Amino acid sequence: MTGEGNMISKDLISELPEEILYFTLSLLSLREAARTSILSSRWRYLWKTTSRSISLDLLAMKGSSHPNCGCGSALCENGKRRNRLLRTERSEFIGWVNQILQLDYSPTLDSFRLRFYMKRKFAHLIDKWISVAIAKRVQKIYINLSPLDREGNSSPDKGGCFSVSEIEIDARNLTRLEYWGGPVKFSFLNAPQLSNVAIRNMLFDYSSPLTYALRRLSSDLPKLESLILSVKPIQEIKIPCQLPLFVNLKKLVLIFVLPLSLWSLIPLFMASPYLQRLEVHELQPVGSVTAGLLVPGLIVIVPVPTLPDY
């Protein structure tokens, strides 16, 4: 204070130890942390070194969830306003993501999370963002292209990603993959470390995951240890008596809609000589083809060195 009513401004926050500054920034979202770059020259690049994870979420960007108005968006004025809002936020989101990825100098990433309403015209952007994460040797990737908001309401954009027919995986350091969507063809070009896989189909088309698992999954992913699959009644799928071995598979989770005969799965069990745990869950349809009630069940398999004599 220099005189009555006069004050000298002083940046006391920037004088704090770096450990406290890093801890403070770690409590902020990526967007909030980036905003601190305007506080002072010391803060300009500080946010870039606080985290090795990137979370890009369209809904979380402004904290909006676009609540369902209860009627068709094409006929509802609220729906039209929500569509306009979504288009504006999507445009801002794309600019924000491009800026974040351009300014992030981290050589590696622990995790990369993307939540975005996908339309065909945005596919090249999503490919570019994922390529940036892979170039940084990301360990975990979470991608949600669902047209549902965080409250489970239908979003203004009904597009979804059901037009996707093939997904190519080329990520040397990827260890976990979860997919939930329409039936697609998977091509694992280079995923030598992938050990944890979950493939669940929507629209109750459950033949694709099991069919793929029985044919190529064991050879594509030799280090696979945990596998979660959506399956249809096994009697509708012809399982060969001999299957390629899952030499490292320890946990198998099957999710089905209709009654399932475990006897039909014996070839799959025999192809998994080191299986330690089997979980069988029944999915009961509730209301729509994309929603269901998961009824948990559990069967624990403990392998024994030799079969008992009878």
pLDDT at res. 170:
81
If phi > 0 it is left, if psi is from -120 to 50 it is alpha, else beta; for residue 144 that is: beta
List C-alpha distances in Å: 15 to 10, 28, 32, 42, 240.
Answer: 10, 19, 20, 10, 69
Q: Distance from CA of residue 72 to its chain's centroid?
A: 28
101-118: per-residue pLDDT in tens? 776 666 777 778 887 766
Residue 115's closest CA among 106, 126, 124? 126
Write the single-letter amino acid at 114.
Answer: L
pLDDT at 144: 75
Q: Left, alpha or beta for 70 (phi > 0: left; psi -120 to 50: alpha)?
A: left
For the ranges 76-80, 106-110, 142-146, 265-269, the maximum mean pLDDT occurs at 265-269
pLDDT tens digits, 69-108: 333 444 345 555 556 666 677 777 888 788 777 766 667 7
C-alpha to C-alpha distance for 111 and 137, rounded to whole angstroms: 9
pTM: 0.54
Helices 123-135 and 77-103, packing angle to 10 deg: 30
